[in-house]
Amino acid sequence: MKFYSLTVNDIINETLDAKSIIFKPRDEDITLFKYQSGQYLTFRIPLQGTTNLERCYSLSSTPIIESELKVTVKRINNGLVSNWFHDILQVGDVIDVAKPKGRFILQPATNPILFFAAGSGITPVISIIKNTLNTTNRLIYLIYANQNQESIIFHEEIQRLSEKYKYQFTCHYHISSVLGRLTEDIILDFINLADDAHLYICGPESFMSLIKEVSVRNNFNENNIFLEYFNSPDITEDDENANTSKSKTIVAPKGISKFTITLDENICEVPYKHGSTLLESILSAGFDPSYLCKEAHCGSCMAVRKSGEVAMKKTTSLSKRDLSRDYILLCQAIPLSKDVWVDCDS
């Protein structure tokens, strides 16, 4: 994965534990950083005493109405990278950033849109909402869950949008310290606001899993559900709602010695290390694909299977639609045939 130098132009305090950082690419790199609302940037963080760490943060800016690149970072207890953004990064600093990526984007349609966001999950959602309001007449409903009133990110901006587009955009705040966690009844009431809607969800994995499960069980069209997984090693979920999905035990057949990848527009053969995943073999061969958690949570290592057969130990961040389109997770994929070819650039 190739990185470029971006300069910090401004830092904005959104809440007590959330900051927005505005970046400027070099003039020769501006076209490389064109993006769609809902996409994310990958940062290479130079932490003292460690090797560089890479983390993804969604863009909260909207290209059609804002010229800057803006990401919003919420401080996580004991989070190495989020605390670095809050305590170390300053205006004028230069940081390594990869080109925008991500598929959590506005789908071309006229359907109403239902958004579920929790905490910093509002970041790609606010970008998509602003894009939708400025380019379409689609009805938008947002339910935004937070622990308390003070932790609502973009509160004033959301209020302004609600007033300016009062016939098109409706926001409901769910404050868990007052109302408790989202219940199935609340979710059902929300998804019944509009027929044939598109459903976008971003937040902690347990939050998204609950909403998706309730929606699908109540006959919501799964092809109209779009999720953005943003968990990374910076975030630990050790409560009762932490992901507990188990990995399958998969062993590659004997005789598989290599596979093919497309990476940075180059087609390369990669030696396969028996007992490893595709990602582990790619890294051992000295290549630098996009990846973060290695646990199927973040989806950063998603690639397209162009040929051959693979099996995955876990598919947490892949939807049925993703699987039907031959998306795989490199960190979970084991080759089952000798003709495996995966496109890491798609």
CATH code for the domain in which residue 279 is found: 3.10.20.30
Q: Are residues 127 and 206 in the same domain?
A: yes
Residue 107 lies in a domain: no
Whether residue 335 has pLDDT greater than 60: yes
DSSP letter at 101?
A: B
User: How many structural domains compose the chain?
Assistant: 3
DSSP letter at 133?
A: H
pLDDT band (50, 70, 90) for residue 233: very low
| Alpha helices per DSSP H over the chain | 80-87, 122-135, 155-164, 176-179, 184-191, 205-217, 278-284, 320-324
Whether residue 177 has pLDDT greater than 60: yes
Rounded to whole angstroms, the Cα distance separating 147 from 174 reads 8
pLDDT band (50, 70, 90) for residue 230: low
Give the mean model confidence (pLDDT) for residues 176-198: 91
Residue 239 lies in a domain: no
Give the mean model confidence (pLDDT) for residues 298-319: 87
pLDDT band (50, 70, 90) for residue 331: very high
Q: Are residues 117 and 223 in the same domain?
A: yes
From 52-56, 166-170, 171-175, 257-261, the region with the lowest mean pLDDT: 52-56
What number of other Cβ atoms are within 10 A of residue 174's Cβ? 18
Residue 251 lies in a domain: no
Residue 117 lies in a domain: yes
Q: Are residues 199 and 130 in the same domain?
A: yes
Rounded to whole angstroms, the Cα distance separating 42 from 57 reads 7
Whether residue 244 has pLDDT greater than 60: no
Residue type, 115: F
Residue 186 lies in a domain: yes
* Alpha-carbon Rg for the chain in angstroms: 20
Q: Are residues 18 and 71 in the same domain?
A: yes
Q: Which range of residues forms the domain containing residue 61?
A: 3-98
CB 36 within 8 A of CB 124: no
Give the model's pLDDT for residue 52.
Answer: 74
Q: Are residues 335 and 311 in the same domain?
A: yes
Q: Are residues 169 and 68 in the same domain?
A: no
Give the model's pLDDT for residue 53.
Answer: 79
Give the mean model confidence (pLDDT) for residues 219-234: 77
CATH (domain of 214): 3.40.50.80
Distances (CA, A) of 104 to 82, 126, 229: 22, 12, 9
More reliable by pLDDT, 46 or 121? 121
Which of 177, 207, 228 represents a domain boundary (last residue)? 228
Whether residue 131 has pLDDT greater than 80: yes
Rounded to whole angstroms, the Cα distance separating 172 from 190 reads 10
Q: Are residues 186 and 281 in the same domain?
A: no
Which of 98, 121, 138 represents a domain boundary (last residue)? 98
Residue 39 lies in a domain: yes
Collapsing DSSP to helix, strand or coil, 82 comes out as helix
Whether residue 317 has pLDDT greater than 90: no
From 209-218, 275-284, 298-307, the region with the lowest mean pLDDT: 298-307
Q: Which residues contact 218 (CB under 8 A, 6 or more apart)?
A: 188, 191
Residue 313 lies in a domain: yes
Q: Are residues 321 and 279 in the same domain?
A: yes
Q: Are residues 79 and 15 in the same domain?
A: yes
Q: Are residues 149 and 72 in the same domain?
A: no
> How confident is the prediction for the chain on average, in pLDDT?
88
Q: How far is CA 300 from the centre of its chain?
A: 8
Burial class (CB in 10 A: 0-12, 13-18, 19+), 223: exposed
Residue 245 lies in a domain: no
